[in-house]
Amino acid sequence: MGWVLLGVSALILIPAFAILGSWWQESIRDIVGVPREGRPVYTVLLIAAFALGLLLVVFGRLIGRATRAIAHLLGRFVPVPVARLAAVVVVVVVGVLVIDGTVQRGVLGVAERSAAVADESTAPQVVQPEEPERSGSPSSLQQWDTLGREGRTFVAGGPRAQDITAVTGRPAVTPIRVYAGRLSADGVDETAKLVVEELDRTGGFDRSVLAVATTTGRGWVNANVASSLEYLSDGDSAIASMQYSFLPSALSFVADRETPQLAGRALFEAVYERWLGLPEDDRPKLVVFGESLGSFGGQAAFSGGYDMMARTDGALWVGTPNFSEQWAEITASRDDGSPEVLPVIAQGEHIRFASDPADLNGAHLSSEWEAPRIVYWQHASDPIVWWSFDLVLNRPDWLREPLSPRLEPGVRWIPFVTFWQVTLDMVFSVDVPSGHGHTHGSEATDLWAAILRAAPDGTQWTPEEIAEIRDALAA
């Protein structure tokens, strides 16, 4: 009888939710500004969902049979209720051991070895820099082949003096980019020391702006965030970063959240110690930034917002994961009436949140923006920011409060369902235009301009100059 009821329910609910799901997806595509999909796509998804459901039913039956067999065996020696309970415990323990041994030690081990091999490759059109201002150059203490794939991309990329002048019309110098790879040393502390040595070699501490960037898992730095800082500073800047893992962020996100924190803390402390030893009048403006797992790791160098303000001249944290302690504490301290997706902290005196650059100076902020300035750049539609295990059984504030216009109007919290929706959204979070999801583009120019407040010579950037830089990055 139960299977009959299930079958009847499926005949009604599956087509209904298939139609609703396709309508919701088209609504989301309209919001982010991408073309609609054809109907055949949803037919394929329906077939795939049916196949997955069938596999889960088969898997569940196998577990049930195993549990009953163990209970039957144990029932020969102990009372039946005890045997049944013990059978469940045995199945759970064996399952955990299998997952730990197969997934964590096996799958992740293979993934890390494969990622290490991939890290030896170099992205197309990336060539070793000749400028002494770059790690991996012939003048560098760091060998080109030790920087990792993303490290090589980082030091080879970005604007040079002539590129900056061509866009801004102002005199410029070639920006400094220093980097150390996972293969450069044993452990994050030693790697961080190598980065400081590169800063000393290149004269990074003599620049007007010194930025410490914590990378994502494989060592990636957002080119828009880095280059916009360099354009705004007329190239009179140095960016210091390092690789701490071979794993891509998705796997680090699941399997290793400790190393990003250790790396973020080690790099900042090493740079900060050297910076603190300089005469106060000779110190460059010290700023920090990181995106996604890099934001999570970079914030680990600080106990909270007040510590950031005490030890830096500004910060740009991009797409911060929900499990970041500092972000969570700052968000929880928001002013009454301000939403979780766009919190107001102490009336916006030092810390401001933005989905769009215009949010930095919105009517919801009643305080003058004092230095140092801390910016959290996050989108209401970014699943990386809003994913949490709490979604399983608890309605988050961002779904209690009035919905952001960047979200599909029909979004509602449903126990278990919302958790899996946001989980799956993470897979496609970067496959959307800038300004949505986990994609952050040339708008970084406006945010850095607000944080830095002025060019190295003290002049203010005009809206036209900022727009020209933004356009150059987007080209």
pLDDT at 115: 67
> What pLDDT, on the 0 to 100 scale, is given for residue 317?
99
> Token pair of 311, please?
């030890």
**Alpha carbons 327 and 315: distance in angstroms, whole number:** 13
Residue 21 has pLDDT above 70, yes or no: no
Q: Which of 65-74, 88-97, 108-117, 244-253 has the highest mean pLDDT?
A: 65-74
What is the CA 374 to chain-centroid distance, rounded?
Answer: 17
Cα 382–Cα 401–Cα 426 angle in degrees, nearest 5: 15
User: What six digits make up the tokens of 441?
Assistant: 């583009």
Cα→Cα distances 322→87, 375, 406, 407, 432, Å: 37, 16, 18, 18, 20
Q: What is the pLDDT of residues 364-384, one digit of tens each?
A: 887 799 999 999 999 999 999
Residue 359 binned pLDDT confidence (cut-offs 50, 70, 90): very high
What confidence score (pLDDT) does residue 102 get? 59
Domain range summary for the chain, segments of one domain joined by +: 2-116, 129-474
DSSP 244-281: --SS-HHHHHHH-SHHHHHHHHHHHHHHHHHHHTS-GG
Summarised one tens digit per residue, pLDDT across range 271-321 is 999 999 999 999 999 999 999 999 999 999 999 999 999 999 999 999 999
pLDDT of 349 higher than 80: yes
Question: How far apart, in whole angstroms, are the C-alpha atoms of residue 323 and residue 385?
Answer: 8
The answer for 319, left when phi > 0, alpha when psi is -120 to 50, beta otherwise, is: left
Whether the CB-CB separation of 160 and 231 falls below 8 Å is answered with no
Q: Are 406 and 380 in contact (CB under 8 A)?
A: yes
Asked if residue 207 lies in contact with residue 237, where contact means CB atoms within 8 angstroms, the answer is yes
| pLDDT for 406 | 82
307 Cβ neighbours under 8 A, 6+ residues apart: none
Instruction: Tell me whether residue 76 is exposed, middle or buried, using C-beta atoms within 10 angstroms of its C-beta: 0 to 12, 13 to 18, 19 or more.
Output: exposed
Higher pLDDT, 80 or 218: 218
238 pLDDT higher than 80:
yes
Note the pLDDT of residue 470: 96
Mean pLDDT of 174-197: 96
Side-chain half-sphere exposure of 414, counting CA atoms within 13 A: 8
What is the reported pLDDT for 114?
66
Per-residue pLDDT, averaged over 137-147, amounts to 97
**Has residue 473 got a pLDDT over 90?**
yes
| Chain CA centroid to CA 69, Å | 46
Q: Can you name the residues that pair with 376 across neighbouring β-strands?
A: 317, 353
Record the tokens describing residue 381, joined without a space.
């539609």
What is the C-alpha separation between 475 and 124, in angstroms, rounded?
A: 18
